[in-house]
Structure 1
Amino acid sequence: MTKNPSEPTQTYPLVEEIRKHRSRDEKWLREGDMPVGRRLAQIGVFGWIFVVPTLAGLFFGRWLNVHFETGIFWSAPLMLLGLCIGGWTAWK
Protein backbone atom coordinates (compact mmCIF):
# COMPACT_ATOMS: atom_id res chain seq x y z
CA MET A 1 0.00 0.00 0.00
CA THR A 2 1.46 3.37 -0.97
CA LYS A 3 1.22 6.43 1.17
CA ASN A 4 -0.55 9.47 -0.21
CA PRO A 5 1.67 12.57 0.28
CA SER A 6 -1.38 14.81 0.73
CA GLU A 7 -2.53 12.89 3.82
CA PRO A 8 -1.51 14.49 7.11
CA THR A 9 1.15 12.53 8.91
CA GLN A 10 0.19 11.41 12.36
CA THR A 11 2.70 12.18 15.09
CA TYR A 12 3.00 10.04 18.15
CA PRO A 13 3.85 11.47 21.56
CA LEU A 14 6.75 9.06 22.04
CA VAL A 15 8.29 10.08 18.72
CA GLU A 16 7.97 13.77 19.62
CA GLU A 17 9.63 13.21 22.99
CA ILE A 18 12.49 11.33 21.33
CA ARG A 19 12.97 14.23 18.89
CA LYS A 20 13.01 16.74 21.75
CA HIS A 21 15.52 14.62 23.67
CA ARG A 22 17.74 14.30 20.63
CA SER A 23 17.67 18.04 19.95
CA ARG A 24 18.55 18.78 23.61
CA ASP A 25 21.46 16.34 23.39
CA GLU A 26 22.70 17.95 20.16
CA LYS A 27 22.43 21.42 21.71
CA TRP A 28 24.39 20.26 24.77
CA LEU A 29 27.11 18.78 22.54
CA ARG A 30 27.34 22.07 20.60
CA GLU A 31 27.22 24.49 23.54
CA GLY A 32 28.34 22.45 26.54
CA ASP A 33 27.29 23.01 30.14
CA MET A 34 26.04 26.33 31.42
CA PRO A 35 28.70 28.26 33.37
CA VAL A 36 28.54 28.09 37.17
CA GLY A 37 28.05 31.84 37.45
CA ARG A 38 25.01 31.77 35.22
CA ARG A 39 23.49 28.90 37.20
CA LEU A 40 24.04 30.79 40.46
CA ALA A 41 22.45 33.89 38.93
CA GLN A 42 19.37 31.87 37.96
CA ILE A 43 19.11 30.44 41.46
CA GLY A 44 19.45 33.93 42.94
CA VAL A 45 16.77 35.42 40.71
CA PHE A 46 14.47 32.50 41.42
CA GLY A 47 14.93 33.03 45.16
CA TRP A 48 14.20 36.75 44.94
CA ILE A 49 11.03 36.05 42.97
CA PHE A 50 9.72 34.35 46.12
CA VAL A 51 11.31 36.63 48.71
CA VAL A 52 10.26 40.08 47.48
CA PRO A 53 6.46 39.51 47.29
CA THR A 54 6.51 37.57 50.57
CA LEU A 55 8.34 40.31 52.42
CA ALA A 56 6.19 43.00 50.79
CA GLY A 57 3.05 41.23 52.02
CA LEU A 58 4.55 40.84 55.48
CA PHE A 59 5.59 44.49 55.74
CA PHE A 60 2.25 45.75 54.42
CA GLY A 61 0.40 43.46 56.83
CA ARG A 62 2.56 44.67 59.69
CA TRP A 63 1.84 48.28 58.74
CA LEU A 64 -1.92 47.56 58.70
CA ASN A 65 -1.63 45.87 62.10
CA VAL A 66 0.12 48.87 63.62
CA HIS A 67 -2.24 51.34 61.93
CA PHE A 68 -5.45 49.56 63.01
CA GLU A 69 -4.02 48.02 66.21
CA THR A 70 -5.11 44.49 65.25
CA GLY A 71 -2.24 42.40 66.63
CA ILE A 72 -1.12 40.01 63.89
CA PHE A 73 -4.45 39.86 62.07
CA TRP A 74 -3.14 41.12 58.70
CA SER A 75 0.48 39.92 58.78
CA ALA A 76 -0.03 36.19 58.19
CA PRO A 77 -2.69 36.39 55.44
CA LEU A 78 -0.78 39.03 53.47
CA MET A 79 2.47 37.12 53.87
CA LEU A 80 0.76 34.00 52.47
CA LEU A 81 -0.72 36.08 49.66
CA GLY A 82 2.77 37.36 48.84
CA LEU A 83 4.10 33.81 48.89
CA CYS A 84 1.35 32.71 46.50
CA ILE A 85 2.09 35.63 44.18
CA GLY A 86 5.80 34.78 44.26
CA GLY A 87 5.04 31.13 43.47
CA TRP A 88 2.77 32.10 40.61
CA THR A 89 5.40 34.49 39.23
CA ALA A 90 8.09 31.82 39.44
CA TRP A 91 5.82 29.34 37.70
CA LYS A 92 5.21 31.74 34.83
Structure 2
Amino acid sequence: MTRPSHNPDKEPLPGIVARKTDQHIKAQKQEKQSIYFGLGMIGTVGWMIVLPLVAGAMVGRVLDRLWPCAVSFTLTFIFAGLCLGCWFAWQWINRQGE
Protein backbone atom coordinates (compact mmCIF):
# COMPACT_ATOMS: atom_id res chain seq x y z
CA MET A 1 0.00 0.00 0.00
CA THR A 2 1.42 3.39 -0.96
CA ARG A 3 1.03 6.62 0.95
CA PRO A 4 -0.68 9.50 -0.83
CA SER A 5 1.76 12.09 -2.06
CA HIS A 6 1.92 15.38 -0.18
CA ASN A 7 0.29 18.26 -2.05
CA PRO A 8 2.19 21.52 -1.30
CA ASP A 9 -0.82 23.60 -2.48
CA LYS A 10 -2.95 22.44 0.46
CA GLU A 11 -2.82 24.26 3.76
CA PRO A 12 -1.18 22.18 6.53
CA LEU A 13 -3.44 20.88 9.28
CA PRO A 14 -2.00 23.11 12.06
CA GLY A 15 -2.71 26.18 9.91
CA ILE A 16 -6.29 25.08 9.31
CA VAL A 17 -6.86 24.43 13.01
CA ALA A 18 -5.36 27.81 13.97
CA ARG A 19 -7.51 29.65 11.42
CA LYS A 20 -10.70 27.88 12.52
CA THR A 21 -9.88 28.55 16.19
CA ASP A 22 -9.38 32.25 15.47
CA GLN A 23 -12.73 32.38 13.63
CA HIS A 24 -14.45 30.63 16.55
CA ILE A 25 -12.97 33.02 19.13
CA LYS A 26 -13.90 36.04 17.00
CA ALA A 27 -17.50 34.75 16.68
CA GLN A 28 -17.75 34.27 20.44
CA LYS A 29 -16.51 37.80 21.16
CA GLN A 30 -19.09 39.37 18.88
CA GLU A 31 -22.32 40.17 20.63
CA LYS A 32 -25.57 38.84 19.23
CA GLN A 33 -27.43 41.24 16.97
CA SER A 34 -31.08 42.01 17.67
CA ILE A 35 -33.96 41.49 15.27
CA TYR A 36 -33.97 45.25 14.67
CA PHE A 37 -30.41 45.08 13.33
CA GLY A 38 -31.51 42.45 10.80
CA LEU A 39 -34.56 44.45 9.76
CA GLY A 40 -32.45 47.57 9.41
CA MET A 41 -29.96 45.70 7.26
CA ILE A 42 -32.74 44.40 5.00
CA GLY A 43 -34.11 47.95 4.70
CA THR A 44 -30.71 49.36 3.85
CA VAL A 45 -30.10 46.73 1.18
CA GLY A 46 -33.56 47.38 -0.23
CA TRP A 47 -32.95 51.10 -0.53
CA MET A 48 -29.55 50.47 -2.10
CA ILE A 49 -31.28 48.54 -4.86
CA VAL A 50 -34.42 50.69 -5.26
CA LEU A 51 -32.80 54.14 -5.46
CA PRO A 52 -30.55 53.44 -8.49
CA LEU A 53 -33.45 51.59 -10.14
CA VAL A 54 -35.82 54.55 -9.75
CA ALA A 55 -33.13 57.01 -10.80
CA GLY A 56 -32.52 54.92 -13.91
CA ALA A 57 -36.24 54.91 -14.69
CA MET A 58 -36.43 58.69 -14.37
CA VAL A 59 -33.37 59.28 -16.54
CA GLY A 60 -34.71 56.80 -19.10
CA ARG A 61 -38.09 58.56 -19.24
CA VAL A 62 -36.41 61.90 -19.89
CA LEU A 63 -34.25 60.41 -22.65
CA ASP A 64 -37.27 58.69 -24.22
CA ARG A 65 -39.09 62.03 -24.39
CA LEU A 66 -36.05 63.88 -25.81
CA TRP A 67 -34.95 61.23 -28.35
CA PRO A 68 -37.73 58.82 -29.29
CA CYS A 69 -36.35 55.73 -30.99
CA ALA A 70 -36.97 51.99 -31.30
CA VAL A 71 -34.92 51.22 -28.18
CA SER A 72 -36.58 52.04 -24.86
CA PHE A 73 -34.19 54.08 -22.77
CA THR A 74 -36.49 53.59 -19.78
CA LEU A 75 -36.13 49.81 -19.79
CA THR A 76 -32.43 50.03 -20.50
CA PHE A 77 -31.78 52.39 -17.60
CA ILE A 78 -34.09 50.44 -15.26
CA PHE A 79 -31.99 47.34 -15.94
CA ALA A 80 -28.75 49.31 -15.54
CA GLY A 81 -30.01 50.81 -12.25
CA LEU A 82 -31.00 47.37 -10.99
CA CYS A 83 -27.56 45.97 -11.81
CA LEU A 84 -25.82 48.95 -10.20
CA GLY A 85 -28.02 48.75 -7.09
CA CYS A 86 -27.35 45.02 -6.69
CA TRP A 87 -23.62 45.66 -7.03
CA PHE A 88 -23.77 48.40 -4.36
CA ALA A 89 -25.72 46.10 -2.03
CA TRP A 90 -23.26 43.25 -2.63
CA GLN A 91 -20.29 45.48 -1.82
CA TRP A 92 -21.97 46.81 1.33
CA ILE A 93 -22.85 43.33 2.58
CA ASN A 94 -19.28 42.14 1.97
CA ARG A 95 -17.92 45.09 3.97
CA GLN A 96 -20.30 44.32 6.83
CA GLY A 97 -19.01 40.74 7.01
CA GLU A 98 -15.38 41.76 7.54
Relative to the length of structure 2, the TM-score reads 0.63
Quick one: structure 1 residues 82 and 26, their matched pair in 2 at CA, closer, same or farther if it must change by over 3 Å?
A: same
User: How many pairs are equivalent?
Assistant: 83
The residue number in structure 2 matching 1:5 is: none
State the Cα distance separating 1:37 from its structure 2 match.
1.1
Matched, 1:36 2:13: no
Deviations 1:35-75 (A, max 9, x none): 11111111111111111111111111011112223477101
Quick one: structure 1 residues 71 and 60, their matched pair in 2 at CA, closer, same or farther if it must change by over 3 Å?
A: farther
The residue number in structure 1 matching 2:73 is: 74
Percentage identity across paired residues of the two chains: 27
The residue number in structure 1 matching 2:96 is: none
Runs of 4+ off more than 2 Å: 13-32, 67-72
Quick one: structure 1 residues 39 and 24, their matched pair in 2 at CA, closer, same or farther if it must change by over 3 Å?
A: farther
Relative to the length of structure 1, the TM-score reads 0.67
Quick one: structure 1 residues 86 and 33, their matched pair in 2 at CA, closer, same or farther if it must change by over 3 Å?
A: same
Unaligned runs of 5+ in 1: 1-10
Unaligned runs of 5+ in 2: 1-9, 92-98
